[in-house]
Amino acid sequence: MADHIGRVQGHPIYALAVMFAAFTGLRAGELAGLNVGDLTLPQVLGSAGSVNVTRTRRAVRGGWETSTPKSAKSRRVVPMMRGWPTICAHFWPTIIRTAARRTPTMTRLRRCFPAATG
């Protein structure tokens, strides 16, 4: 599905989001609520990182509303799969080309991924 979204439909950033959600189990609002500081990336290639889920975001008229997850159990640290950096690397060239053409996509991209190297 992510490959279809990325290559056929031409939306690699959404393909990456689908893959990320699938491998972490995050809900849509939790995914939208992520900031760069919520990701703990591995220091050693091949090791796993984690995602700290502390907020959600949802679209409302005129912008975004940020809140906390519904329950205490929803606030959690989710381990990332060890192969995640390799999966990201697969999508980066297309994401960067797309972002260069679409400024709004680049703005969303920078929220969680400030540079191609993580």
Classify residue 38: in a domain, yes or no.
yes
Phi, psi dihedral angles at 50 (to 5 degrees)? -150, 165
Nearest CA to 50 among 78, 25, 89?
A: 78
More confident residue, 23 or 53: 53
Classify residue 30: in a domain, yes or no.
yes
How many other C-beta atoms are found inside a 10 Å radius of the C-beta of residue 30?
Answer: 23
Classify residue 20: in a domain, yes or no.
yes
Mean pLDDT of the chain: 75
Q: Reduced to 3 states, what is the DSSP secondary structure of residue 40?
A: strand
Classify residue 79: in a domain, yes or no.
yes
How many structural domains are present in the chain?
Answer: 1
Classify residue 117: in a domain, yes or no.
no
Classify residue 118: in a domain, yes or no.
no
The pLDDT of residue 54 is 94
Quote the domain boundaries for residue 69: 2-112
Classify residue 32: in a domain, yes or no.
yes
Phi, psi dihedral angles at 81 (to 5 degrees)? -65, 145
Taking residues 51-80, what's their average pLDDT?
Answer: 90
pTM of the model: 0.66
Classify residue 95: in a domain, yes or no.
yes
Angle between helices 84-101 and 103-112 in degrees, nearest 10: 150
